[in-house]
Structure 1
C-alpha cells in the first residue's frame, strides 16, 4: 500500500511534472547491463523525492528488476543496521550461501547470531555479495528513501556497496534533503537536484486534490507552494476542509514550518484513542503496528484495537503494509513531535520501554528518553547497549549510545569517562570532527587519573590534525612519565608513541625529541621492545638509528606472530631508512589486517609500505600505493590518503612522466595546508615527486628548484630524514645546472647527520651523491663503489648509478666505454617499467652514435593497479571469493576483471596466468592462508 502523499501526486498513473526526471531515471535502468551506478535525488521536504522513487520502483518491477527498499526515520537513527535490515529482508534466506566469516558478521549485526567482535567490513562484504548475487539472476534496484535519517552503520554499509557496483547490474537510488550528504564520499554518486514542478503541473495537482477551492485562495496556494507538490496537496486539502487558515504571519514562516502546522492541524481533529496511536508512532523506532497499539493502550489507559487506529490511516497520517506501518511523511512525525508536550512525550517513551521488554537495547533507549533528570542505572544500561552495538560491528551507534549515557550520568567523572569512550570509538572510525568536539567538551571536566591519560593519549595518536607545538608534545611526555610512575607502562608507551609520531611529521626541535627518547628509556622495557624502537626511530632517526637497526635484526619478519608488533617494527625500520626490513615487517600486518577486514589500519600500513618500496626502487603502483589511496579515501583518513597519493604520482613520474602539476600532488598539498602537523613530511614527498618528474623530462633547473626546498630548514617542505633520501636526486640536478659546489656542501652536511653507521637507505644516497658530485680524479672509483655497494642488489639504484657513470664517461670523451653502463641502465629501466628513465639512457646512447633501440612492450602495463592485484592473486591459486574478500570486492566483480585481464595478457585460463606474469617480470608466490 502506497502512502497517501505518493498516491495523490499522480493523476491516473502519471506522475505530474516529472517527465524529464523519469525519462532520465528510466534510461539508467534500461542501461543497467552496461554500468551500475548510484543516483542521489536531492531536494527540500515535500518536493516529491519519495514519489519519484516510488514511480521508478514501479517501472523497475514492470521490466523485471528485483527491487529492494528502505526508508530512514528520525526515530530510528540510533538503531544500528535498522535501515540495512529493511533492504536485505528479502535476501536474508540466501545468507547461508555466503562464506562463513561474512555470514556470521551479517547475522550478528542483526542480532541473529551470537558471534562476538564482528568486523563491520565483513558485514559490508556480505551485503555486497547478497545484492550482487541477486543481480546475477535479475537486475537490482535499491531504493533508499530519506537516507539522512538512516542509522550510521547502515549508511556505512550501503556506501561501501555503492562504491563497488560499477561493473554490476545494480542501481542504487537514494533520496535526501538539500544540504545533507548521505555518504561521506558523495562525489561517487550522480546527483539529481529536484526543484518544484512547473505551473501547469502545479495547477493540475492542486485541482485534483482541492477542486472547490475559491479562486483567490487557489492562486495563493499556487504562489506560496512554489511548485512543491506536498505543499500543493496539503495546503489545498487543509484550506478546503476548513482545518487550516492562512494568516499574514505565514508570509515569514519557512515552507517546512507551515507544512508541519498543516499536518498538526489535521491530527488535532482525531479522537483521543487515535491521537494516542499517533503519539506512540511519532516516537517509535520500529515498524510493528502491534507494538504501537500495545504502547498506545498504556498511554491511553484503556484497551485499543485496530479500529481505534483507523482514523490515523484514513486521514493519511499513517500507512500500512501487512503488519508494518509507517508515518506517511517525515514532516508528519516532525509536526507531531513538536506539538507534543514534554510530559506526554516522556509518558509515551515509558510506555514503549515497557512494551519492548523483549528488545532490551530499544527498551533502554526509550527508558532514557522517559526521564527528565540524570539516572546512573539507565546510563549503565546504555553503556551496556553500546558494548552490544560494538560487538555487532556498529561502532558509530555505540559511540552515540555512549554519548547518551554520558548525558544521563549523575557523576561528572563517569560522564567524562563515557564521553572519552565515545571519542575513542570516533577515532577508530576516523571521524576526527566528532573527536575534537568531545575533547572540547571534556576539557575542564573533573577527570580520574586514568581518564586524564586517556584524553592525552587521544590527542597523542591524533597525528592527523593534531598540533606539534613543543609545549603540547612535552605535556604528553609529562603524562607518560606519570603513567609510568603508577606502573601503567602500556599507557605510558602509548602516549610516547603518540608524541613521537607528532615529531616525525613536523620537527619541534632537538630538545623535545630528546625528551621523548629519555622518557621512553626510563620505562622498564627490554631494549628490543618494538614500541621503544618505534619511539627511537620516530624521534631521533639519525641519533638512534644504529641502535634501532641492530635490534631490528634480532626480530623475525612476522614478529613472532604478533602483527601489532610487526607494524611498530615496520615503522621503526622505515623511519631509520632500513627499507628492506620495513617492507618485510609491514607485510605481516598487511596480511593480517586484510584477513581481519580492518581497512583503516590496512590503509596506513600499505601507505608506509608503498614508500618503503619506492625508496628501494620498486615502482609498482599495484603493490601498495593504489590500494592504500583507495582504502584511505574510503575510511576517511585524509593524511594517509595524501601520503598514498604522492606515492602514486611519483610512480607515475618514473613509469610514464607528466608535464603538468599532477592533480594528486595538488590534492596532497591541500591536505598539508589543512593538517599543519603533517605539513613538512607531506610537502617533502610532494617536492621529491615533482623533482623526479622534472629529472625524467630533463628539466634540470626546475628539478633543482623543487628538490632544494626539502633541505631548507625554514621551508615548509623541510624534513630531517627525507632530505637525506632526496639527496641523490638533488645531486643529479645540481651537476646539470652548475651547482656542484652547493650540492657538495649539502652532501657534507648529510654525511655528518648520517653518522658512522648509516642505514641502507642513507648509504645508497650517500654513495651515489659522492660519485655524481666528485671531481674528475676521484669520480671513477666512487662510481664503481656506488654500483658495487648498497645498490648492487637493487636494480633501480644500480641502473641510476650506471646511467650517471655512462654519462660521465661520455662527457670525458670515453665514448666507447660509456656504452656498456648506459646499455645496462637502459635495459634495467626498461625491465622495471621506468619508461622515462629508459628514454634518458637511450638519449645518452644516441649521443654516442648508437641507434635502433625500441622499448619492450609489456602487456602488464595495460592492466590497472586493481587488475594487476587480481591477476597476481588468481595466479597464486585463490578463488574469486577469496580474492574478493582480500580486496573488499564482490566475487562477481573479480570475475569481470579476470574476463578483461585474460585477453590483455594473452591467456585463456587462470592456469596460464602464473606463466604469463612470470614472463613479464613478476614472481608468483604461493598463496598464504589468510581468509
Structure 2
C-alpha cells in the first residue's frame, strides 16, 4: 500500500502504514518461524494497487531489524519472456560480491550451471550490458551447457535452491519476489520446485501476485507448500483507513467521494488524490483501471519529459538513462533533464544508477500513451543499439519480436540464436522466440526449407517445455506443408507427432497417424518407413499387443545401406522386449546382448534420434534381471536424452532406472532417481510420464519404510486415470498394492495386487512382476492366517518359473517359505535360506534380506535360536545396506528378543523408541495423550484408516494390545 500522497512509497520507506494489522501479524509470524522451523513460503494476493508492494516493504524492514539478509526482485509486464527475471533481479547484484564463496561452497560444476542464469557468476560478464542483464537476460558464456531438456531445468532448480540455502547462513534470508504473475514459466517452475523441495536453512520466500492474472501453477503454490505456506489476501481499505491515508487536506465528503471512486484501492485512491481536487467530472468518468487518473498525471508533464518516459517504458522495467534516450531519440543530457522532472513528479524513482517507474501500472499507462507505431520504432532503435554494443541475442530478442519486420532475415537469425541460447533452462521462452522467428519468415520457395526445419525445431521446443498439444499441432502443421513425397522429413515429423500424442494420453491418435503415414509410402520397407514402424512397435508393446509388435518386427531387416546412422541400433533395441513378452527368454537374452554390443560401438550422436527405441532395450534388460547392463544403458541413454532436450524420453528412462535400483536394493539412489523423474514429468505435464515416475517413487518409498509417502504416490498414480488397458496402468496399481501390504493394510493391499494382475486371467504385467505378486500375496495370506491361500499362491508362483530368468527364481522358494512357516517352520527356514542364496546371486539384495528375515523367524519358531540369530543378523546387515528402515527396525526387534545387542542408528538416521517410524511415534504420542483416532487423524492430516494402520503396527512393535499399553510403554522409554 502506498503512503501519504505527498511522499513516495518505496520498499522500507518510513511512511507509516495504514491498517493491515492481520497481514503484518502474518509477516511477523513467518519471520519468526524460519528461525525455529526453517523454510516458509508467503504469498500476498491482491488486485493491482491493493498494497502488496507496500506490505513487502514492511517485511523487508522487519527482516532488517532482525538481521536477516533481504533480497528483492520483481517481474515486469513487458519482459515476461526473460528467463528467471525476478530471481536475477533479486539475487544477481548480491551474487557478484559472493562469486568466489558460491564457487567454493557449491563447487565449480554447480557454479557453472548457475552462471547460465545469473550473469554475475560468469567470468565473461561485463558491465556494459547491464541493462539487458537486469531484465533477466543471461549472458552468453560461449560454453553452452549440454543439457537442453527438462533434466537440465530440474538440476538448475536444485542448484538455485542450494544457492539460496547457502545465502541464508548464518542469520537467515528473506527473498522477496514482486509481481510474479508476470514471471516467466521457468521462474514459476522453480517456485513450484522449491515449495515442494524446500531449502534446509532459515529462508522466507515471499511472493506477491494478482489473482486474476495468476496462472494455475502460481495460484496453487501456497497449497503445495502445505504447512510451510500461507496466503495473505490484500483487499480494499476500510473507509476509516482511507481517511487516514488521505490525511487532513481532504474534507470528509471529498474523502468519501474519492473512496467510492477508488473502491478502497490504495493506489487508485492516491492516483485520484494526485488529480486536481476541483475536477469531479474526471472522477465520474474514471474506468476501473484508473487510467483516467494516470492520464491526467501524465498530461501535466512537459512534452520532453513525456517522450523520455515513453522511451523508458519501452526500454525495461528498470532502465538506464542512455537506453531511454536511444528509445526517445533525444540526447543523453536531455534525457537526464527529463528524468529530473519525472523523478520530481514521482513518475519514476531512482534505483541505484538506474530508474524505475513508481508502480507497474504507471509504466503501463506511459507505454500505452505512446502511439503504437512509435512504440514499434522505439523497440527497433533499442534493438539496433544493443546489437551495436555487442549485446547477446537474448538481450535483443524481446525488442526484435516487437519491432522485426516480415522478411527481416537478421531479426530471424537473432531470435533463433536467442531461442537456442536459453533452450536448456527456459524452453518455454525458447519456443516463444522460435515462434516469433517463424512469424517473420516468409513462406516463399527460397525460405521454405529453412521454415520447415524451424517448425520441426519449434515442435521439439514446445514438447520439451510441456506444451505438448502445441508441439503436436506444430508437427501436424509441418506435415500439411511437406510435399507428399518428402518421405524422410514426413517420417520425422510424424514420429515426433506420434510421440507427443502418446504423452498426451492419446495412443489411438498416435497409432492412426503412424498407419496413415505408412499407408502413403509406396515402399513399406524403405528406410523412411523404418522409424514409423519402430514407433508402431513401441505403441503395440505399450498396449500389450505383442503379436502385433512381433509382426511388424518380422518385416524389418536388421540393417540396410541407406539407413541413417544409429537406425540399426534402434531396431536391435526393440527386439528383446517383444521376445521376452512372448516367453522366448533365451532369444530375448541373445537379442539384448547383440543390441548392447551395437550400442557400445555407436557414438552418442547416432543414438540421440532413437532413444524412444533404445529405452525398450533398457527396460527389457531390467525385466530379464540383467541389472548391471540395464543401469549402464539407462545412464547412457538418459545422458543423451538430457543433452538433446528429449524430456518425454528422459522421464521414462529415469523411471526405469529407479525401478532397476529398487530391484538391486539401492533404495536411496532409487528414491533420488524417482524424484528426478517425477520432477521432470511434472514439468512436462504428461499424465503418462507422471504415472511412470510416481509408480517408481511409490515402490522406492515403500521399501525404504516411508509408508505414507509411498501410499500417497501410489494413490496419485492410480487416480490419474490414464493407462487403462496398457502395461503402465497395471504397474501403477501393482505398486500401490505393494505399498499397502508393506504398510500393514493386508486385505486392501492384496485386493489391489490382484486387480493389478487382472486376477491372472489376462495379466498385463511382465512375468517377473507376476512372480513378485505371487510371493507378496503368499506373504499377505500367511500373515492373515490363511495358510491354504498362501500355499495356493506359492503353487502359482512355481508355475511361472522360467529357467531363462534366474534373477526371479528365488521368489518361488520364498513364497513357499511364507506358506510353510505356520505349520512347518523348519521346512520354511530351509526354503527361505534357499531363496536367499538364489536372490543374492541375482544381486537382489533387498529380496535376499527379506528371505533371510523369513528364515530367521522360521528358525526361531522351530526353536533353533542360534541359526535364527545368524540369519537375522545377516538380514539386518542387508536391510541397513539397502536403506530399508522398517524392515531393519523389525529385524532389530527380533534380535533384541534373542538377547543380541543392536547398535543405535547412526547420526542422521531416525532412531526412535522400539523401532517406531517418525510418523508412528507421532501417532503413538498423541494416542498416549488420550486423543481418539479421529482426533489424531485431524491433527496429522491423515485418514482415520491410516491412523488405524499405524496403530496396529505400533501395537506390534511395542508388544502391547491396548492404547493404555502404548502410553505405559512410551512413559518407560522416556
Classify the TM-score, shorter chain: 0.7 to 0.9
After superposition, residues 213-228 of structure 1 pair within 5 angstroms as 215=253, 217-228=254-265
Structure 2 equivalent of residue 662 of structure 1:
711
Instruction: Provide closer, same or farther for how the CA distance between residues 832 and 312 of structure 1 changes in structure 2, counting only shifts above 3 A.
Output: same
Comparing 372-381 and 419-428, the one that deviates more: 372-381
Matched, 1:388 2:434: no
Q: CA deviation at 1:586?
A: 3.9
Aligned twin of 1:424: 460
Determine the C-alpha separation between the residues in 1 that align with 2:410 and 2:762. 53
Return the offset for 1:596. Answer: 12
Instruction: Could you tell me which runs of 5 or more consecutive residues in structure 2 were left unpaired when the two chains were aligned.
Output: 118-137, 912-974
Q: Partners of 1:739 and 1:71 in 2: how far apart? A: 63
The range that moved more, 140-149 or 559-568, is 559-568
Structure 1 residue ranges without an equivalent (≥5): 866-931
Q: Distance in 2 between matches of 1:155 and 1:661?
A: 27
Aligned to 2:757: 711
Whether the 8 Å CA contact 1:238–1:266 is kept in 2: the answer is yes
Contact 1:687 1:717 in 2 (8 A): no
User: Are 1:5 and 1:316, in contact at CA under 8 Å, matched by a contact in 2?
Assistant: no
Partner Cα distance (1:340, 1:783) in 2: 82
Q: TM-score scaled by structure 2?
A: 0.71
Contact kept, 8 Å, 2:86 with 2:183, in 1: the verdict is: yes
Alignment equivalent of 2:93, drawn from 89, 96, 109: 89
- Once the two structures are TM-superposed, the CA of residue 841 in structure 1 deviates from its matched residue by 9.6
Change (3 A) 1:659 1:384: closer
Matched, 1:272 2:303: yes
RMSD: 5.1
In the comparison of the two structures, how many residue pairs are matched?
A: 832
Counterpart position of 1:607: 655
Q: Is 1:509 paired with 2:545?
A: yes
**1:539-580: CA deviations, max 9, x gaps?**
453236433423545758994797878977533312444345
Match of 1:863 in 2: 909
**Shift of residue 48, structure 1, vs aligned partner:** 0.7
CA shift in 2, pair 1:377/1:718, >3 Å = same
Q: Which 10-residue stretch deviates more, 599-608 or 147-156?
A: 599-608
Deviations 1:472-525 (CA, angstroms, capped at 9, x unpaired): 336437758999989997x87765665555445x42523432245346545448
Q: Single out whichever of 661-670 and 647-656 deviates more from structure 2.
A: 647-656
SS in 2 for 1:196: coil
Listed as ranges, the matches of 1:787-826 within 5 Å are 789=838, 794=844, 796-798=846-848, 816=862, 826=872
Aligned in 2, Cα 1:244/1:372: closer, same or farther, shift over 3 Å?
A: farther
SS of equivalent residue, structure 2 residue 669: coil
Structure 1 residues 794-838: Cα deviation after superposition (integer angstroms, max 9, x where no partner): 45545666787899999xxxx859889877665554443467778
SS of aligned partner of 1:70: strand
User: How far is the alpha carbon of 1:464 from its aligned partner?
Assistant: 6.7
Structure 1 stretch displaced more, 71-80 or 602-611: 602-611
**Deviates further, 143-152 or 357-366:** 357-366
CA distance in 2, matches of 1:197, 1:550: 76
Deviation (angstroms), 1:535: 1.9
Partner of 1:100: 108
* Distance of aligned partners of 1:107 and 1:693 in 2 relative to their CA distance in 1, 3 Å threshold: closer
Distance 1:482-1:841 versus aligned 2 partners, 3 A rule: farther
User: Secondary structure at the residue paired with 1:270?
Assistant: coil
Compute the displacement of 1:424 (Å): 1.4
Which of residues 661, 682, 697 is equivalent to 1:636? 682
Q: How does 1:237-256 map to 2 (within 5 A)?
A: 237-238=274-275, 240=277, 242=279, 245-247=282-284, 255=288
Counterpart in the other structure of 1:24: 26
Which residues of 2 match residues 213-362 of structure 1 at below 5 A?
A: 215=253, 217-238=254-275, 240=277, 242=279, 245-247=282-284, 255=288, 257=289, 259-285=290-316, 287-297=319-329, 304-357=334-387, 358=389, 359=391, 361=393, 362=395
In 2 relative to 1, CA 396–484 (structure 1 residues): closer, same or farther, beyond 3 Å?
farther
Is 1:408 matched up with 2:440?
yes
1:536 alignment counterpart: 575
In structure 2, C-alpha distance between the alignment counterparts of 1:864 and 1:14, rounded to whole Å: 48
Deviates more, 1:439-448 or 1:704-713: 439-448
Asked if the contact 1:534–1:571 (Cα under 8 Å) also holds between the matched residues in 2, the reply is no
1:231, distance to aligned residue in structure 2 (A)? 1.8
- Report the Cα offset of residue 613 of structure 1: 3.5
CA contact (8 A) 1:94 1:130 kept: no
Question: How far 1:49 moved relative to its partner?
Answer: 0.9
Contact 2:83–2:429 under 8 Å retained in 1:
yes
1:427-464 per-residue CA deviation (whole Å, 9 max, x = no partner) reads: 33445465456557667555765553343333444487
For the Cα contact (< 8 Å) 1:726–1:765, is it kept in 2? no
Q: How far did 1:382 drift? A: 1.6
Q: Residues 526-925 of structure 1 correspond to what in structure 2 (within 5 A)?
A: 531-543=570-582, 545-553=585-593, 555=596, 559=600, 569-583=617-631, 585-586=633-634, 605-616=653-664, 618=665, 621-629=667-675, 632-633=678-679, 636=682, 639=688, 642-650=691-699, 653-654=702-703, 656=705, 662-671=711-720, 673=721, 675-676=722-723, 680-691=727-738, 693-694=740-741, 697=744, 702-712=748-758, 718-721=764-767, 722-732=769-779, 736=786, 738-739=788-789, 750=800, 758-765=804-811, 789=838, 794=844, 796-798=846-848, 816=862, 826-833=872-879, 852=898, 856=902, 859-860=905-906, 863=909
Specify whether residues 839 and 859 from structure 1 end up closer, same or farther in structure 2 by C-alpha distance, changes over 3 A only. Answer: closer
Q: Is the 8 A contact 2:146 2:643 kept in 1?
A: no
**Does the Cα contact within 8 Å between 1:147 and 1:174 map onto a contact in 2?**
yes
Residue aligned with 2:177, SS: strand
Alpha-carbon shift at residue 198 of structure 1 (Å): 3.0
